[in-house]
């Protein structure tokens, strides 16, 4: 019973620093995340104010960039509303319509939601739309607009911001087709037609001149053979065996120490621990030491014996080293007017 109480107290003393360290790490990580979130909110607020000031000055391109940065750092419905207004004033009607339409669907501010819906409705008939038409679809055809994949939008009149765009169509085995188009005119649909792609020319067959010299067809190099496949297992067996010997030595040492403590207890009690006539407290302490050391001795001897046996099995059952094979090969040869075989190698 005393030994159990001592072990429980030792475990509590060992676990307490680890628990304290884990709590400290958790607090530090939580503080780092909170600090990063606070910094993002501060940066988002600064970018939002910058965008509002720039829009008041009529610098819409820079203002929209500031609003986008603010929305990326800390997404807010109010920031999205101002971004939509900025797009509208800057002439980017498709981007404005997209932001305001999304806001009209999910804004929690009733007045702002109503205004976003009204503005989106007024913008819709003014939008410039791009319609991509493919006259002949090849397998693996992809179409990009300014580097972005728009293949899924083929045949769909899609709202786009005014400007100039470069469209490119590609397919395996065909020459790419590129066209630059102007997307202008409020309320218009600009149609871009992708013609059938031109197949790439097939390279002419290469005709080799006749070679009067014999043609030697070299075989592929032989696969490298591991001549000692059991090396790793034998090495592992030696390691396990050494560990087992060390464990046996430790177990033997604890067994000797346990026997010595037991003899000390008998001497303290006058020869019989069951009927102790000496210092009972000192004898009990010696008996406790003998039991704990005996337990360690049992563990060490058991683990050591198991490891020694396992190491021996690993070492003895490892595949034996192979003999180096003879390096020879039959090579077919062919030439003008003859066919044959050649034997090469060393013996």
Contacting residues for 120 by C-beta, under 8 A, at least 6 apart: 97, 100, 101, 104
**Tokens representing residue 280 in the block:** 């009972």
Better-predicted residue by pLDDT, 328 or 273: 273
Whether the Cβ atoms of residue 192 and residue 130 lie closer than 8 Å to each other: yes
Residue 196 has pLDDT above 70, yes or no: yes
* Spatial separation of the C-alpha atoms in residues 242 and 247, rounded to whole Å: 9
Task: Report the C-alpha dihedral over residues 15, 257, 300, 238, rounded to 10 degrees.
Answer: 120
Angle at 92 between CA 90 and CA 93, to 5 degrees: 115
- Count of Cβ atoms closer than 10 Å to residue 312 Cβ: 15
Lowest mean per-residue pLDDT among 3-7, 27-31, 104-108:
3-7
Average pLDDT, the chain: 80
Whether the Cβ atoms of residue 133 and residue 190 lie closer than 8 Å to each other: no
What would the pLDDT profile of 228-252 be if each residue is shown by its tens digit? 777 787 788 789 788 878 888 887 9
pLDDT at position 130: 93
Nearest to 70 by CA among 56, 80, 59, 62: 80
What would the pLDDT profile of 104-118 be if each residue is shown by its tens digit? 999 999 999 999 999
Residue 345 has pLDDT above 70, yes or no: no
Residue 33 has pLDDT above 60, yes or no: no
pTM: 0.47
Whether the Cβ atoms of residue 188 and residue 129 lie closer than 8 Å to each other: yes
- Please give the backbone phi and psi of residue 58, each rounded to the nearest 5 degrees, phi first: 85, 10
- Please give the backbone phi and psi of residue 294, each rounded to the nearest 5 degrees, phi first: -65, -40
Residues in the chain: 347
* Superfamily for the 33-125 domain: Tetratricopeptide repeat domain (1.25.40.10)
pLDDT at position 23: 57
pLDDT at position 13: 61
What would the pLDDT profile of 300-344 be if each residue is shown by its tens digit? 788 878 978 887 887 788 777 767 655 555 566 655 555 565 555
Residue 218 has pLDDT above 90, yes or no: no
Contacting residues for 169 by C-beta, under 8 A, at least 6 apart: 134, 141, 142, 143, 176, 177, 178, 194, 197
Beta bridge partners of 199: 174
* Spatial separation of the C-alpha atoms in residues 112 and 118, rounded to whole Å: 10
Confidence of residue 31 (pLDDT cuts 50, 70, 90): low
Confidence of residue 294 (pLDDT cuts 50, 70, 90): confident
C-alpha atoms less than 13 angstroms from C-alpha of 104 in its C-beta half-sphere: 15
* Spatial separation of the C-alpha atoms in residues 83 and 68, rounded to whole Å: 7
pLDDT at position 267: 80
pLDDT at position 3: 44
Confidence of residue 94 (pLDDT cuts 50, 70, 90): very high
**Tokens representing residue 303 in the block:** 């683990």
3-state secondary structure of 110: helix
H or E stretch covering 144 = strand 142-145
* Superfamily for the 127-194 domain: Carboxypeptidase-like, regulatory domain (2.60.40.1120)
């Amino acid at each position: 019973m005393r030994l159990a109480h001592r072990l429980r107290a030792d475990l509590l003393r060992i676990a307490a620093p680890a628990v304290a360290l884990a709590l400290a790490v958790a607090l530090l990580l939580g503080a780092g995340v909170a600090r990063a979130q606070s910094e993002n909110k501060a940066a988002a607020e600064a970018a939002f104010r910058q965008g509002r000031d720039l829009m008041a000055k009529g610098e819409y391109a820079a203002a929209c960039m500031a609003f986008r940065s603010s929305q990326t750092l800390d997404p807010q419905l109010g920031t999205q509303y101002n971004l939509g207004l900025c797009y509208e004033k800057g002439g980017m009607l498709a981007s404005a319509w997209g932001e305001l339409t999304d806001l009209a669907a999910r804004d929690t501010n009733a007045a702002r939601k109503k205004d976003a819906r009204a503005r989106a409705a007024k913008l819709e008939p003014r939008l410039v739309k791009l319609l991509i038409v493919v006259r002949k679809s090849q397998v693996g055809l992809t179409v990009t607009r300014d580097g972005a994949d728009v293949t899924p939008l083929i045949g769909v009149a899609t709202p786009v911001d005014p400007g100039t765009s470069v469209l490119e169509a590609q397919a395996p085995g065909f020459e790419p087709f590129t066209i630059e188009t102007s997307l202008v005119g409020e309320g218009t649909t600009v149609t871009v037609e992708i013609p059938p792609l031109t197949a790439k020319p097939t390279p002419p067959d290469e005709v080799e001149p006749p070679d009067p010299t014999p043609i030697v067809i070299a075989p592929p190099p032989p696969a490298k053979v591991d001549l000692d496949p059991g090396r790793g297992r034998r090495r592992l067996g030696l390691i396990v065996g050494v560990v087992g010997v060390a464990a046996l030595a430790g177990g033997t040492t604890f067994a000797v120490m346990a026997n010595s403590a037991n003899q000390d207890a008998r001497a303290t009690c006058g020869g019989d621990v069951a009927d102790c006539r000496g210092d009972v407290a000192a004898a009990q302490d010696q008996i406790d030491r003998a039991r704990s050391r005996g337990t360690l001795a049992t563990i060490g001897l058991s683990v050591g014996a198991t490891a020694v046996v396992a190491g021996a099995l690993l070492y003895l059952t490892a595949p034996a080293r192979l003999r180096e094979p003879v390096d020879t090969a039959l090579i077919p040869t062919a030439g003008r007017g003859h066919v044959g075989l050649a034997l090469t190698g060393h013996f």
